[in-house]
Amino acid sequence: MADNRQFFKMQSGDKYTLIIIILYTIITFLFVSSSATFFKMAIFGWLMGLFMFIAPIVSLIFMKFEYNQLDTQKKQSTNI
Amino acid sequence: MKTIEFTLTLIYLIVCIGIGIWANRRVKGSTDDYWVAGRQIGIFTNSWAMMAALASGGSVLGVMGLAYANGIPYTFSMFAGAAAGFPLAAVLVAKQLRNLQIYTVTDFFRFRYKNKAIEALVPIIIVLAMGTYIIAQMKAAGVTAVYLLGIPYPTAITITAVVFILYVSIGGMWAVTLTDIIQGILMVSMVLILAIVLFFNFGGVTSVLTQAVDISPNFGAIAALSPASYLGAFVVWFVAACCTPHLVMRVFTAKNARAARYSLNWAVVIYAFMIVFGVLAIASAGHIVLPDLQDPDTLFLKLIEMYLPRVIGGFAVAAVMAAVMSTTDALLLAAGSAIAHDIYAKFINPNASQKTLVRVGLISNIVIGVVALLFAFNPPKLLTMFYTAAVGLLGSSIFVPVVMGIWWKKSTTQGALWSIIIGTVSYLYLTWFSSMPALTPILVSLPLAFLVHVIASLLTQPVETQVIDRLQELHME
């Protein structure tokens, strides 16, 4: 059956990673004009610093999950 | 002349040349080995090499200076853009570009859009942007050598340039990869050692930060710049990993798509440790002990002198050189590949043998390196801002057609061509002729390029179905 969708299909793990990264960015930028601080530094600064760890770690977790599933499926199809 | 520092730096430079000579034997006239290290690089090696390619002189010298001058929130927003951009590249482009088995970003345009104007335009933009980036890096090497080795600026940049031009030219991507591992480990360890020493001296992370803010209240605040500046700094780096050739080429070197995607993320984890802890310790301590520093870019070097023993300080000089060289070598190779592979092999001599192409690549690398060196004798003033503007140019012109070309089936050749033209022209116009704050032109040029791409694609003929079928395979592999 021909695939008539305009966009290529994205893996669900990749979709979640993308959504989390974009949502986190939007939420963080809501604080860009905020004067709220934590240990005397703007919350925006802390959120951005944290983002540097969160973004790759979220991506790694979903990727690991996706590849584990893929490997299990491959193993099962080989056994059959 | 500072003997210990000079000797350690000299040993480091000799090791780099040695690696270049070893890599030259491995390359043996194969374009696969010269441009993409035979596509054999595993996750560990590629993660360090990617991190080293991203972490330039700007990430060691410039980031501390930027945080000192503009505060931590602004600095983190710029560098978080890069950190989030790598996972973005892992999701949006890594698998498809790796599976396509190509050498350069232009190869993707050749496959997807099949248009001579695009094939000529893209390498020109790449050479211009990469050249600008190289000049900024050479300045960082020069500043370091002048400050810590006590040798004149022109001598310093000439020595550094000769070394990396030599090992990149003769050893290609193998030399870049192997030197990048050493350089990456060296710079991360030196920044973290200095950070730990400073945390120990000032009572920990929060203590050093609060002391610094007490002295300079703007250091932790969002005061001096408009929100658009923060967003612009973030976006420039957010889109960079998807389209900046010296980073994308590392995706091509991975042994498979899985290794490429994992390494993009691990690279950023390492990078995050270096930047976050480095900035919190070094920029904060700078405000406490050097509150009236005239040239913020020298902060890291000054604190090394003040807090580290001379032998470790010598390694730190080598680490800054490493930061500069690990990015510059990748930039040089990317620019060289644009000339040799994308222009010479496709337009001038399509029948050239692999051996000839490797030789042309070698000559291109030397020429670009020498031209950049000549410009670096009169360097720009704002290091990080200068090369970030060059990265912004690439993002504005190439990001949209690359990402849309991979994901949107209706993306057409005219859409790509016009988005490249409009993205480039609008970015350059706004950068040079408007009063927009620094790094914000991308906030206009990128959406404009996207809009033009969509409209032009919807109005023009779709690309051949074979291309879409092949793209489908790339998504599945």
The answer to whether A49 contacts B76, with C-beta atoms less than 8 Å apart, is yes
**If you ran DSSP here, which 8-state letter would residue B298 be given?**
G
At residue A53, what are phi and psi to the nearest 5 degrees? -95, -40
Per CB-CB distance under 8 Å, the chain B contacts of A73 are none
CA dihedral sign of residues B167, B172, B175, B181: positive
Nearest Cα of chain A lies from the Cα of B3 at a distance, in angstroms, of: 38
Q: Is B214 in CB contact (< 8 Å) with chain A?
A: yes
Q: Between B87, B92, B231, which is nearest A55 by CB?
A: B87
**Which pLDDT belongs to residue B331?**
84
The pairing of beta strand A41-42 with beta strand A37-38: antiparallel
Per CB-CB distance under 8 Å, the chain B contacts of A48 are 73, 76-77, 80
Residue B315 lies in a domain: yes
Q: Is A42 in CB contact (< 8 Å) with chain B?
A: yes
Q: Is A7 in CB contact (< 8 Å) with chain B?
A: yes
Domain count within chain B: 1
**If you ran DSSP here, which 8-state letter would residue B308 be given?**
S
Count of H-run helices and E-run strands, chain A: 2, 2
**Which pLDDT belongs to residue A7?**
92
Which of A3-7, A41-45, B125-129, B336-340 is predicted least confidently?
A3-7
Residue B171 lies in a domain: yes
Nearest residue in B to A34, CA atom: B222
**Which pLDDT belongs to residue A71?**
86
Q: Is A8 in CB contact (< 8 Å) with chain B?
A: yes
Residue type, B423: G
Per the structure, the complete domain to which residue B186 belongs is given by: 3-383
Q: Is A67 in CB contact (< 8 Å) with chain B?
A: yes
Say what the ipTM of the complex is: 0.93
Q: Where are the alpha helices (DSSP H) in B279-309?
A: 284-289, 299-307
Per CB-CB distance under 8 Å, the chain B contacts of A67 are 258
Q: Between B71, B84, B475, which is nearest A8 by CB?
A: B475
The answer to whether B87 contacts A53, with C-beta atoms less than 8 Å apart, is no
Helix (H), strand (E) at residue B7 = helix B3-27
Q: Is A76 in CB contact (< 8 Å) with chain B?
A: no
Residue B450 lies in a domain: no
The Cα–Cα gap between B113 and B415 comes to 9
Q: Is B277 in CB contact (< 8 Å) with chain A?
A: no
> Are B175 and B20 in contact, with CB atoms under 8 Å apart?
yes
At residue B412, what are phi and psi to the nearest 5 degrees? -115, 170
Burial class of residue A34 (count of CB atoms within 10 Å of its CB; 0-12, 13-18, 19+): exposed
The Cα–Cα gap between B139 and B297 comes to 11
Q: Which residue has the higher pLDDT, B265 or A74?
A: B265
Q: Is A70 in CB contact (< 8 Å) with chain B?
A: no
Residue B409 lies in a domain: no
> Are B270 and B51 in contact, with CB atoms under 8 Å apart?
yes
Nearest Cα of chain B lies from the Cα of A78 at a distance, in angstroms, of: 17
pLDDT, one tens digit for every residue, chain B (477 residues): 578 877 888 888 888 888 888 888 877 767 888 888 888 899 999 999 999 888 876 677 788 888 998 899 989 988 999 999 999 999 999 999 999 999 899 999 999 999 999 999 999 999 888 888 888 788 777 877 787 677 888 888 888 888 878 888 888 888 888 888 888 898 899 999 999 999 999 999 999 999 999 999 889 988 667 889 889 989 998 998 899 888 888 899 999 999 999 999 999 999 999 999 999 999 999 999 999 888 888 898 889 889 988 888 778 878 877 777 778 888 888 888 888 889 998 889 998 888 888 888 888 888 988 988 888 887 665 556 667 778 899 999 999 999 999 999 999 999 999 999 999 999 999 988 888 887 899 999 999 999 999 999 999 988 888 999 999 999 986
**Which pLDDT belongs to residue B293?**
87
Burial class of residue B247 (count of CB atoms within 10 Å of its CB; 0-12, 13-18, 19+): buried
| ∠ Cα B129 B57 B358 (to 5°) | 55
Nearest Cα of chain B lies from the Cα of A41 at a distance, in angstroms, of: 4
The residues near B379 (Cβ < 8 Å, ≥ 6 apart) are B135, B136, B138, B139, B142
| Letter string b/e over residues A52-78, b meaning 16 or more CB atoms within 10 A of that residue's CB | bbbbbebbbebbeebeeeeeeeeeeee
Instruction: Please name which of B455, B415, B424 lies closest in space to residue B442, comparing C-alpha atoms.
Output: B424
The Cα–Cα gap between B288 and B285 comes to 5
State both tokens at B415. 């859409």
Nearest residue in A to B215, CA atom: A40
Nearest residue in A to B75, CA atom: A45
Per CB-CB distance under 8 Å, the chain A contacts of B269 are 53, 56-57, 60
Chain position carrying tokens 């966009």: A7
Domain limits of chain A? 12-74
Per CB-CB distance under 8 Å, the chain B contacts of A56 are 83, 86-87, 265-266, 268-269, 272
**Which pLDDT belongs to residue B222?**
82
Specify the CATH number for the domain of residue B359: 1.20.1730.10
Burial class of residue B51 (count of CB atoms within 10 Å of its CB; 0-12, 13-18, 19+): buried
Give the CA dihedral B57, B60, B62, B68, nearest 10 degrees.
Answer: -170
> Are B219 and B290 in contact, with CB atoms under 8 Å apart?
no
